[in-house]
Amino acid sequence: MPQDPYSWIQASLATIQRANWYRSVLPIHGRPGATVLLSGKEVINFASNDYLGLAGDERLIQGAITAVEKLGTGSTGSRLLSGHRELHRELEESIASWKQTEDAVVFSSGYLANLGAIAALVGKRDLILSDEYNHSSLKNGAILSGAELISYPHCHVAGLRNLLSQYRQNYRRCLIITDSVFSMDGDLCPLPELLNLADDFSCMLLIDEAHSTAVLGKTGAGCMEHFQCTGRTIIQVGTLSKALGSLGGYVAGSANLIDYLRNRAPSWIYTTALSPADTGAALAAIQIVQQEPQRLVQLWRNVEYLKRLIQEQLPHLKLLPTQSSILCLQLPSAAEALRVGQQLISKGIFAPAIRPPTVPTSRIRISMMATHQAAHIEKLVSVLSEIL
Ligand code: PMP
């Protein structure tokens, strides 16, 4: 009797379960917001990347509806074939003008933007240096490119300099890749130092602005604006799916870079163009971010309020140092993180447990929104003090 070639899947699932790494999904009903219906129960939502509370905003919904009414539901093909619409160009121009870059190009997701950009920029004769905590899309882009890949210790500028001194001269091109806000830790990459290293060693630098777009910087333009580095040469990748409340990704940079990506990025060329609904919603979101700076101000007030309450009322909690809208409570094990995550839900708080292999150590990840009210934040702290 030949062996069942699929039996390993069940065995693997059992191993994942034993390690407390098993994941399942919970349905949210209705529009996203600071409170949501999770499996039918109302909870305060600290699990969302919708940092400005735009995903349920009427104006984004109208932006999507208008685009669908005018252009239909599907883009029908790749941008290079039947998929290109003027609305895509409008969105790209608005991203470039917001970020003060020469041009931008939109992808169907942030993940695809990273895969496509990295695979297009480097190849077999090249070197990638990647922060060890980088997002999966950066790591997989690096693998897809075929370049030599070396991880450097998290945000460690001296370690990166050593690696560059040792290896840079052996390769044709070199690309440094990093999250600008680390999605599971909430800290920031040392951008000014990375820009200097890139100059010193003649490297390209790519930052992933997924969690900094419409979060960092005075106008929400991201990490470059935050560090007052706008105008320096860099490759900025980001997503339309988090603070911008839509779906899709982008790369912003020089006109040559963007022109090159349109010719060489496989995940742009060989996939269907961003849908009209997503494009229309993202355009509306960028307008709102620029017209309503008070949203960003409120987001940062909320972050500071939560930090202050935790410091005052729960000083024993291990809060990872953070400079973004993501706050993480470190816990000793995956089992403990799961227990806390489940207890939070039972008490009306949605803040998920994040466990290995996504992160090296288990934690509860709290993402703040501009639309959280003081009472939401106070409830979170009082529930945490009850269960921890
Ligand atoms: N980069 C980072 C740092 C992310 O957190 C994510 C989303 N989890 C992505 C890229 C991918 O973006 P998208 O969801 O638009 O594919």
pLDDT at 22: 87
Q: Whose CA is nearest to atom 15 of ligand 1?
A: 110
Tell me if 135 CB under 6 Å of ligand 1: yes
What b/e readout covers 286-309, taking b as 16+ CB neighbours within 10 angstroms?
A: bebbeeeeebbebbebbbebbeeb
- Number of the ligand 1 atom closest to the C-alpha atom of 114: 10
pLDDT band at 25 (very low <50, low <70, confident <90, very high): confident
Rounded Cα distance between 243 and 63, Å, is: 16
- Number of the ligand 1 atom closest to the C-alpha atom of 181: 3
Report, as an integer, the average pLDDT of 232-248: 98
Query: Residue 177 CB: number of other CB atoms within 10 A?
Result: 27
Distance 38 CA to ligand 1 centre (A): 22
What proportion of the chain, given as a percentage, has pLDDT over 90? 93
Q: Does the pLDDT at position 24 exceed 90?
A: no
Mean of per-residue pLDDT scores for the chain: 96
Which of 106, 137, 242 most suits a substitution to test ligand 1, by most atoms within 8 Å of the C-beta?
137
What proportion of the chain, given as a percentage, has pLDDT over 70? 100
Distance 97 CA to ligand 1 centre (A): 22
Give residue 44's Cα distance to chain centre: 21
- Number of the ligand 1 atom closest to the C-alpha atom of 182: 3
- Number of the ligand 1 atom closest to the C-alpha atom of 239: 15
Distance 200 CA to ligand 1 centre (A): 29
Q: Does the pLDDT at position 26 exceed 90?
A: no
Nearest to 267 by CA among 126, 139, 108, 138: 108
Tell me if 131 CB under 6 Å of ligand 1: no
Contact 386, 344 (CB under 8 A): no
Which of 179, 241, 358 most suits a substitution to test ligand 1, by most atoms within 8 Å of the C-beta?
241
Rounded Cα distance between 323 and 217, Å, is: 12
pLDDT at 1: 79
Contact 248, 207 (CB under 8 A): no
Tell me if 116 CB under 6 Å of ligand 1: no
Tell me if 107 CB under 6 Å of ligand 1: no
Contact 179, 138 (CB under 8 A): yes
Q: Which residues have a Cβ under 8 Å from the Cβ of 99 and sit 6 or more positions away?
A: 221, 222, 224, 230, 236, 252
Distance 210 CA to ligand 1 centre (A): 6
Residue 219: Cβ-neighbour burial (10 angstroms; 0-12, 13-18, 19+): middle
Token pair listed for 93: 């121009």
ipTM: 0.99
Which of 135, 179, 189 most suits a substitution to test ligand 1, by most atoms within 8 Å of the C-beta?
135
Contact 142, 225 (CB under 8 A): no
Taking only the tens place, the pLDDT of each residue in 162-194 is: 999 999 999 999 999 999 999 999 999 999 999
pLDDT at 179: 98
Query: Residue 225 CB: number of other CB atoms within 10 A?
Result: 18
Q: Whose CA is nearest to atom 14 of ligand 1?
A: 110
Report, as an integer, the average pLDDT of 6-24: 91
Rounded Cα distance between 135 and 142, Å, is: 11
Tell me if 109 CB under 6 Å of ligand 1: yes
Contact 333, 376 (CB under 8 A): no
